[in-house]
Structure 1
Amino acid sequence: MASLTLNSENREDVAAALAGDRWIVACLCAAWCGTCASYRATFDELAERHPDKFFVWIDIEDQADVVGDLDVENFPTLLIQHHEMVAFFGTMLPDVGVAHRLVQSTAAQSDADLQELIINSAERAQWQRECNLRSLLRDAL
């Protein structure tokens, strides 16, 4: 299954999908970004490799009311989340092999392991407050 693009018509469906137990992998990009345009096929390939996870493509300008306050420093930026825990938020090299290993290793962590990382990292604690895609989307509905 390819990734889903978040838009104003499917927000409730995406929010419902995010509420489940699946890992969430979101790519935050912009339409004007050439790297993002070329990365889309890579992101869809990544989604095909991980059919048990929910992949969503988010244009940060089109969906500014959802993700406007996120500090996206460069493109593409991946956000990986399980339940209410943001496990990764950062710029990703546009390489399917690197992204695959990141998703695979992140999803191999237990919730207890993720919680431990959050407790011991100020940056990860900040992700929980600012980058929780479930909360951001709920607030935008």
Structure 2
Amino acid sequence: MHSLTLSTDNHRDIAAALAGERWIVACLCAAWCGTCSSYRATFEELAARHPDKCFVWVDIEDNADVVGELDVENFPTLLIQHGEQVAFFGTMLPDANLAHRLVQAQSAQSDEELAALTAASEERRQWQRDCNLRTLLRAARG
């Protein structure tokens, strides 16, 4: 499966694709960012390596109504979550093998391990409040 691309007219379709207990891997980028443009092929390759997960490409400027409040400090930023639990939110070097290992490591955690990690620090607790892509999409749809 290839990645999905969030746009202003497909919020409902993306929300439906993210439903359930699937792992979600979202790349938060900007169209003007050269690193993001070159990372797109790597992200597609990553999606092909993990067909059991839902990969979403999100341009943070075109989709400010969804992700406007997220604190994206650099590009590309990956958001990885399982169900309603955000496992990772941070800048990722544009390296396919590094991203692959990160996705593997996050998705290898049991629900209990993930729950413990999401509550382990204030930063991770903030991810739960602010970075849940499913919640952000629901809020944007009104």
TM-score range, shorter chain: over 0.9
What is aligned with 1:14? 14
* 1:112 aligned counterpart, secondary structure: helix
What is aligned with 1:102? 102
* 2:119 maps to 1:119: yes
* 2:79 aligned counterpart, secondary structure: strand
1:1-141 to 2 correspondences below 5 Å: 1-141=1-141
Whole-Å separation in 2 of the counterparts to 1:7 and 1:133: 14
Q: Give the residue type in structure 2 aligned to 1:140.
A: A
Q: How big is the shift at 1:113?
A: 0.5
| TM-score under structure 1 length normalisation | 0.98
Whole-Å separation in 2 of the counterparts to 1:99 and 1:9: 29
The C-alpha deviation readout for 1:49-101, integer Å capped at 9, x for no partner, is: 00000000000000000000000000000000001100000000101000000
Instruction: Percent identity, please.
Output: 74
| TM-score under structure 2 length normalisation | 0.97
Whole-Å separation in 1 of the counterparts to 2:21 and 2:129: 20
Q: Give the residue type in structure 1 aligned to 2:137.
A: L
Comparing 77-86 with 119-128, which one deviates more in the overlay?
119-128
How much is the aligned-residue C-alpha RMSD, in angstroms? 0.6
Structure 1 residue runs of 5 or longer lacking an equivalent are none
Whole-Å separation in 2 of the counterparts to 1:91 and 1:29: 10
